[in-house]
Structure 1
């Protein structure tokens, strides 16, 4: 039932033409294993928090509402997933940034992609970005790649401001 309600929430939040690639809870389970408990919540950022996150990430937030997934096992936090929904060219992409409890980018999961699939960044490129643990500045990047890099910066700044150590 939980997966069904999550699917409808995502379905309502995305334009009807979205190509859903994976459910966020499934992506979290894939990263933290079947024994992990995945919970979700919406965070409402204050204007001050949003401004601090924008300064830290050097990117603009499109909303003050952030969907966060948390993976736990035996009351221990394993990590978080932060869902970012941003326009790439003319349509939205939804990406889940999985951040470990060591404050590193563990994985990047493209949840839904509205642009033509040939614009979808390759899995190899996404894996390379998430395996470095650092988000590089990129010049001349395609819009999809820039979107993912900017999203990574936002997700890490949200984690630092709202979730780390809490």
Structure 2
């Protein structure tokens, strides 16, 4: 009986975790794309050639070939894309959702999970600099994105992630 109780608890935790993450994706998507009625989760597994292209376009190190992305739909029509990027900041991972319009404009960036100490989390004002960045914006620290004193690694991680997400968006939007 005790073993059964433990197994049920473990199953409950495993089952509940992805569900709460999806609710947050839905909240973020609906706050940026008002007409979203459906969110479709997809996965990209990059080929060797695509991996090389993403790394060249992003001018950043790409450590995995598997990414999660979302189609934000309204009435069966895609109104936006969400690209989920997880990267190591210092010793822990940060996961950021980058939202794009079908035209390729970076509409938002939202920190979904951050493993480093809270003082390294960029504030909302700094994160807001990514809103409505055009397809050709450099998204590079020191060019159109300023650094953050005391959180340089976080800032670099998020701006590099934005460029990786944009390169992945170009692949995802063609599927």
Q: Report the TM range for the smaller structure's normalisation.
A: 0.7 to 0.9
Give the Cα separation in 2 of the matches to 1:108 and 1:151.
10
- Runs ≥4 in structure 1, deviation > 6 angstroms? none
For the pair 1:136 / 2:139, whether they are aligned, the reply is yes
- Does structure 2 conserve the Cα–Cα contact (< 8 Å) formed by 1:81 and 1:98? yes
For the pair 1:150 / 2:160, whether they are aligned, the reply is yes
- Does structure 2 conserve the Cα–Cα contact (< 8 Å) formed by 1:135 and 1:149? no
Greater relative contact order (CA < 8 Å, ≥ 6 in sequence): 1
The alpha carbon displacement at 1:105 in A equals 0.3
Root-mean-square deviation (CA), in Å? 2.4
Give the Cα separation in 1 of the matches to 2:104 and 2:14.
29
- Does structure 1 conserve the Cα–Cα contact (< 8 Å) formed by 2:139 and 2:162? no
In the other structure, the counterpart of 2:17 is 8
- Does structure 2 conserve the Cα–Cα contact (< 8 Å) formed by 1:66 and 1:83? yes
For the pair 1:55 / 2:56, whether they are aligned, the reply is yes
Q: Note closer, same or farther for the CA distance 1:55–1:10 as it changes in structure 2 (3 Å cut).
A: farther
Q: Note closer, same or farther for the CA distance 1:55–1:7 as it changes in structure 2 (3 Å cut).
A: farther
Which stretch shifts more, 32-41 or 65-74?
32-41
Give the Cα separation in 1 of the matches to 2:85 and 2:123.
18
- Does structure 1 conserve the Cα–Cα contact (< 8 Å) formed by 2:90 and 2:153? yes
- Does structure 1 conserve the Cα–Cα contact (< 8 Å) formed by 2:42 and 2:70? yes
Structure 2 residues not aligned, in runs of 5+: 1-12
In the other structure, the counterpart of 1:98 is 99
TM-score, normalised by the number of residues in structure 1: 0.82
Structure 1 residues not aligned, in runs of 5+: 12-19
The alpha carbon displacement at 1:109 in A equals 0.6
In the other structure, the counterpart of 1:163 is 172
In the other structure, the counterpart of 2:28 is 27
TM-score, normalised by the number of residues in structure 2: 0.78
